[in-house]
Structure 1
Amino acid sequence: MRTALLQLNVSDDPEANLPRTVQMVQQAVDMGAEFILTPEVTNCVSTSRTHQHDVLHHQDDDPTLAALRDLAKQNDVHILIGSLGLKSDTEDKRLLNRSFLICPRGDIVAQYDKIHMFDVAINNTETFQESAGYQPGNRAVLAKADCGAVGMAICYDMRFPRLADALVTAGAQILTFPAAFSPVTGAAHWHSLLRARAIEGGAWVLAPAQTGTHSSALHKTRDTYGHSLVVDPWGEVVLDAGTAPGIYVFDLDLEKVAEARRRIPSRDNARAFEGP
């Protein structure tokens, strides 16, 4: 299946970001892609929680979700929206970091809320407290569609192999890790973590990413690592997008999943054991 990762550099203005995202999705379709993936927070990268609440929408009113659903239907393609920042309808007023798989009918096949919150102090100048602004999810999601069995995850989730293991155990052939990754931790861990998840699961790993410095008219800017990555089920890096925004196309062969698992049947060889 011809597949495309979109590597984006979005601002904190969702209205301004949308036309470029739509253009890139359409370009991917014109390049023959049948399955198109966008990064985490496709609609808005912002360091200001107040600004996010001012410009983001609830799911039913979100223009990015509506536009990409229309594009999927018009072009008869699958689109994985890596995630959108959305307002919540619950009493918890924190935002949602939610991923969507859209089918060629334009319907939402599955949606997933990021489980693991990026609450870290990388160094003296770079700290994150994602849980202060976003509600964590509590449910793993496997989406079964014509593009394959997709285990949905987001960014920091890649550091928690139990989630990937649960998705593969449930039948995932593809693991998705859309991201807006820190340049510091990206340089140190991005490739190693994604290759590990692919090797452990004998699954394709698809990780579309945000990249570069994300502009803001009023607030502090943020930098992300880029390097949208595709790793095959044997652990080979099929595609590394570097740091330039763009559309990166490759062929997704699901037969490689069975081949990798036949060659190294580690899941069949796993044994129960007592803890230390």
Structure 2
Amino acid sequence: MKSYLAAAVQMNSLPDLHENLAQAEDLIDLAVRQGAELVCLPENFSFLGDEAAKIAEAETIAQSSEKFLKTMAQRYQITLLGGGFPVPTAAGKVHNTALLVGANGEELARYEKVHLFDVNLPDGNTYQESETVLAGTNLPPVHPSKELGHLGLSVCYDVRFPELYRYLSQMGAHVLFVPAAFTAYTGKDHWQVLLQARAIENTCYVIAPAQTGRHNSLRQSHGHAMIVDPWGIILADAGDKPGVAIASIEPSRLEQVRRQMPSLQHRVFS
């Protein structure tokens, strides 16, 4: 594992596939021009809006998203995470799928989100992800990279389930991905503290690309894409506008924190 720059991209995705992919390309370009070798796009990067439209267009969204990720990774010679897009299933629903792609355009890892956001919030908004999304059934993967470290996948609502990240750390993860479209209501209180907790308890870097702003009349996201170090220090925060949060991933820092706070070695229960 070497030292390198990573980017957590922050988008304001809309119910328009082509506009979203154009926005994503601009932000990937911005990140690469600043030196990023690992670029991470948020959940719903290619489409965020009406659920019925998402299901109706799911096949097109899935094919276009995967082609886009592979093309961008090859063009810019980066490792690229697509933090979540709909992939149709035989059951008529979709998997909320995160895809990690290497610089040669090859698929490195794929994860189908297991925790679905079925929540009635105090602000009056109701979210029923399971109405259109079929939960994944497999544990999230850790992709071993000699250059970038071991990369653990997750998606958004997963961040509230620490056992998932404990599993990733047990599997050797150095970096945890948390691509999200966190709601504005929950994000203001929970987003940052949850990311810091997952970083601290697993002594891992956390890279959390995010959605921000209004997507339609009902959906509004919190923003604040960020990168957190293994001690819980926020290295970069994208604020509330589209952009990128960029920070250095340092193996020496990872080793230092794990040496000074060897909590992973002190686990009693597994």
* TM class by smaller structure: over 0.9
* Structure 1 vs Structure 2 CA RMSD: 1.6
Partner of 2:69: 68
Please give the alpha-carbon distance, in whole angstroms, between the structure 1 residues aligned to 2:264 and 2:239. 33
Q: Secondary structure at the match of 2:9?
A: strand
How far apart are residue 27 of structure 1 and its match? 2.4
Residues of 1 paired with 2:243 and 2:189: CA distance?
23
Q: Tell me which amino acid in the other structure corresponds to 2:155.
A: I
Is 1:42–2:45 an aligned residue pair? yes
CA distance 1:266–1:21, shift in 2 (3 Å): same
Question: Is 1:99 matched with 2:98?
Answer: yes
Where does the alignment leave 5 or more consecutive residues of structure 2 unmatched? none
> Residue 247 of structure 1: CA displacement?
2.1
State TM-score, norm by structure 2: 0.93
Alignment partner of 1:2 out of 1, 5, 8: 5
| Superposed CA offset, 1:198-245 (max 9, x none) | 000000011000000114xxxx44100001111100111111211011
Asked if 1:52 is matched to 2:51, the reply is no
Q: Against the structure 1 CA distance between its residues 244 and 254, is the aligned structure 2 distance closer, same or farther, given a 3 Å change threshold? A: same
1:158-217: CA deviations, max 9, x gaps? Answer: 0000000000000000011000001111111111111110000000011000000114xx
Q: In the alignment, does 2:130 pair up with 1:131?
A: yes
State whether residues 14 and 56 of structure 1, in contact with CA within 8 Å, keep that contact through their aligned partners in structure 2: no
Judged with a 3 Å threshold, the aligned counterparts in structure 2 of structure 1 residues 26 and 272 are, in CA distance, closer, same or farther, namely closer
Point out where structure 1 has 5 or more consecutive residues left out of the alignment.
Answer: none
**Seq. identity, %:** 32
Q: Which runs of 4+ in 1 moved over 4 A?
A: none
Counterpart code for 2:97: R
Q: Does 1:238 align with 2:239?
A: no
**In the alignment, what sits opposite 1:187?**
188
2 CA distance for matches of 1:226 and 1:109?
27
Q: What is the CA–CA distance in structure 1 between the aligned matches of 2:251 and 2:67, rounded to whole Å?
A: 29
Matched-pair contact (CA < 8 Å) for 1:40–1:83: yes
Give a deviation string over 1:84-104, Cα, whole Å, max 9, x none. Answer: 12222x2x1111110011111
Partner Cα separation in structure 1 for residue 174 and residue 150 of structure 2: 5
Q: Which residue of 2 aligns with 1:164?
A: 165
Q: Given the alignment, which residue of 6, 20, 23 partners 2:23?
A: 20
Aligned position for 1:115:
114
